[in-house]
Structure 1
Amino acid sequence: MSQRDGDLAAGAHPEEGDRHAVRMDGSDDELDQPTSKATEHITAMDVRKGKDMQGIPWNVMPTTRDKYRQSRLQGYANFENVPNSGRLSEKECMPAEKGQLYYEFQHSTRSVKPTIRHFQLRNLVWATTRHDVYLMSNFSVLHWSAMTYKKQEVINLQGHVTPCEKHHRNHYEGFYQTPVSTLAVKHNLLVTGGFHGEIICKFLDRQGVSYCCKTTNDDDGITNSLEIFEKPSGSLHFLASNNDCGLRDFDMEKFRICNHFHFAWPVNVSLQCLLNFQFSI
């Protein structure tokens, strides 16, 4: 974990002049242009006609797309814990051939903008299907459909959020104005993790919030990542990786922590593989 991870966990936020910080509205100062009907949605036909995929009007910008990209690549300082790890990996990776078709653009929109409080936060945008996207926008989790081009608020965390179901050790007092550091959406379950170890669970087919808890009282208790998975038995679980050096396995049938693993380092991310092994970094 880098020093900047530690700063984030301690509650530090990017300074206004930090070029790595992402603005609260998810935009870039230099490229932030008012969204008009002409640039709100970009289709594959628009791109074939020469329009930018992101709707950026380069024809009225003081620089070109290629020059801006080159400037970003030269000015961005990547953070790494292992010195020269990026250069070593480049030697092992096969270079991609230019001119090949690696993806086919379909559609982009500027009608919804994700909120990312810091450039090291993880998984604040989730695509559960080819057409459904869940994202953080300020204090709201939104669902956006690529079929209807419509957005819908799933949960608003700006006010007082309390669980409406009775479960053992449910935090019935709830949370107020919870800043979200990570989220996960899978198997009809939405889980958000907070900067101070807050966990909020909502089933997408139920009204209200099902479960709230605070995983830790540690000052470095930020939730780094969440992983929802099904056990071989079919029971629904999720893993919460925290900066307090803990990895917690939640059973969502019994709404309780069934395993708590301790490490000698802050846990950034944990994954459940098909062989029922857990990997933590």
Structure 2
Amino acid sequence: MVTAGLDMQGYNWDALHCPREFLKKQRVKDFENYLSLVEPPVGRQMERARSIKSNQEFYRFKYGNMAERCSIGHFQLRKLVWATSKNDVYYLSDDTVRQWIPQGGYSRPIASLPFKVISMACKYDLLFAGGAMGEYACQRLDNTESNVCYGMTTQDINGTTNHLDLFMSRTGVKTGLVSGNDNKVRYLRFDTMTFADTLSMPFPVNCTAISPDKNLLCSVGDSTQTILADANSGAVMSAIDEHHDFSFSCAWSPDGRFFVTGNQDKTARVYDIRNTSKTLHLLAGSVGAIRSVQFSNDGEFLIAAEPIDYVHLYHTKTFDTEQVINLFGAVAGVALTPDDQALFICNADNDLGCGLYEFQRVEDEQSTLYI
């Protein structure tokens, strides 16, 4: 990732007279990973993570735009960049959602919101943003001159909208999936702007993902547990308890056979839905919590992002190989375009290369591979 003596963030390490490797090791040593639990669960020992070759290049650095000021609304919530196409990238800047247009080389504001934004989702020509006090806002992306719709997910004093997602219901209705700090998961219908259902969980919910067939929810939160629940009734189908701290991210593989959880214990755990009694793959971070996880749309890669510096791309055929994108700064989010050809990383550290970084998929002659 070096061009004309500069790395992807514009640092000239020869001129700085400080070896990059030395500074990186010092940064890793000094970083204090945040834990919610003072002590791990009694009697629980951390298993050995997979040994993985980290010398792959699945995505190659293409462009860095340090002029864009990216933000993080809450230090534990990091899904703050979305790419709906190769030329439409949405990210948070303070409490304004902006659109970056790579081909044009410019950005523009989409919605300046009157509350502290901590979560967002962009799909189906919709922006869905959530606030620290239960607020939400919706904006059409195909007509940004239209009115912004505002509402509240809850009046609970502890009703933070920790995570948002959008999916298409079986009847073709655009639906918002809201994970709340008040132990609730909610469905918001965008055709009527009403909540279709509210499901209860046994803990404050930091992230929920709905399975591709719309039958199951995977929910994680302020607990070492991962809950698999019926997507219609909320009935708990399985409660998995293997992590050592609280989880803030989860995702399903495109075929619905596998799901993954990201935890503050610095691991991601991959499970097979056919046997959830034990972790299928235990993946370790380099420095801190796994703040966001997602599968590529073709299922070939799993992406796991840490709070600073490291984004891991695992090849899902065997999980024996990975690419580690190694930069300096706070990772506000990672997004893939729908065709998986471009990957964007949002860096929210004003002192260390704040901005958006674009990577292009490296094509090879192999056919698409799955877990």
* Structure 1 partner of 2:301: none
Runs of 4+ in structure 1 off by over 4 angstroms are none
- The alpha carbon displacement at 1:126 in A equals 1.5
- The alpha carbon displacement at 1:77 in A equals 2.4
- The alpha carbon displacement at 1:130 in A equals 3.0
Quick one: which of 10, 19, 40 aligns to 1:64? Answer: 19
Q: Percent identity?
A: 29
**Deviations 1:215-244 (Å, cap 9, x if unpaired)?**
112221111000101012221001111111
Question: Which amino acid counterpart does residue 68 of structure 1 have in structure 2?
Answer: L
**Deviations 1:221-271 (Å, cap 9, x if unpaired)?**
111000101012221001111111111101111110001011221000011
Distance (Å, rounded) in 2 between the aligned partners of 1:210 and 1:264 = 33
Quick one: which of 190, 194, 212 aligns to 1:256? Answer: 194
Rg larger for: 1
- Is 1:241–1:270's contact at 8 Å kept on the other side of the alignment? yes
Is the aligned partner of 1:221 residue 2:176? no
For residue 152 of structure 1, give the secondary structure of its aligned residue in structure 2: strand
- Is 1:224–1:241's contact at 8 Å kept on the other side of the alignment? yes
* Structure 1 partner of 2:98: 142
- Is 1:199–1:213's contact at 8 Å kept on the other side of the alignment? yes
- Is 1:227–1:272's contact at 8 Å kept on the other side of the alignment? no
Q: TM-score, normalised by structure 1?
A: 0.70
Distance (Å, rounded) in 1 between the aligned partners of 2:112 and 2:180 = 23
- The alpha carbon displacement at 1:274 in A equals 0.8
**Deviations 1:20-61 (Å, cap 9, x if unpaired)?**
xxxxxxxxxxxxxxxxxxxxxxxx7xx332311012343454
Is the aligned partner of 1:204 residue 2:160? no
Is the aligned partner of 1:266 residue 2:231? no
Distance (Å, rounded) in 2 between the aligned partners of 1:155 and 1:59 = 42
Quick one: which of 104, 108, 116 aligns to 1:152? Answer: 108
Structure 2: runs of 5+ lacking an equivalent = 221-371
Quick one: which of 181, 184, 205 aligns to 2:121? Answer: 184
Distance (Å, rounded) in 1 between the aligned partners of 2:135 and 2:90 = 19
Matched pairs, number:
215
Alignment of 1:57-136 (within 5 A): 57-61=12-16, 63-80=18-35, 81=37, 83=40, 88=46, 91-98=48-55, 100-136=56-92
For residue 59 of structure 2, give the secondary structure of its aligned residue in structure 1: coil
- The alpha carbon displacement at 1:94 in A equals 3.4
* Structure 2 partner of 1:55: 10
Q: TM-score, normalised by structure 2?
A: 0.54
Which protein has the bigger strand share?
A: 2
Distance (Å, rounded) in 2 between the aligned partners of 1:211 and 1:240 = 16
Would the alpha carbon gap of residues 212 and 117 (structure 1) be closer, same or farther in structure 2, given more than 3 Å must change? closer
- Is 2:175–2:189's contact at 8 Å kept on the other side of the alignment? yes
Structure 1: runs of 5+ lacking an equivalent = 1-43, 158-176
For residue 268 of structure 1, give the secondary structure of its aligned residue in structure 2: strand
Question: Which amino acid counterpart does residue 110 of structure 2 have in structure 1?
Answer: V
* Structure 2 partner of 1:278: 217
Distance (Å, rounded) in 1 between the aligned partners of 2:175 and 2:212 = 14
Distance (Å, rounded) in 2 between the aligned partners of 1:236 and 1:115 = 27
Question: Which amino acid counterpart does residue 88 of structure 2 have in structure 1?
Answer: D
Higher relative contact order (CA 8 A, sep 6+): 2
RMSD (Å) for aligned C-alpha atoms: 2.4
Would the alpha carbon gap of residues 233 and 138 (structure 1) be closer, same or farther in structure 2, given more than 3 Å must change? same
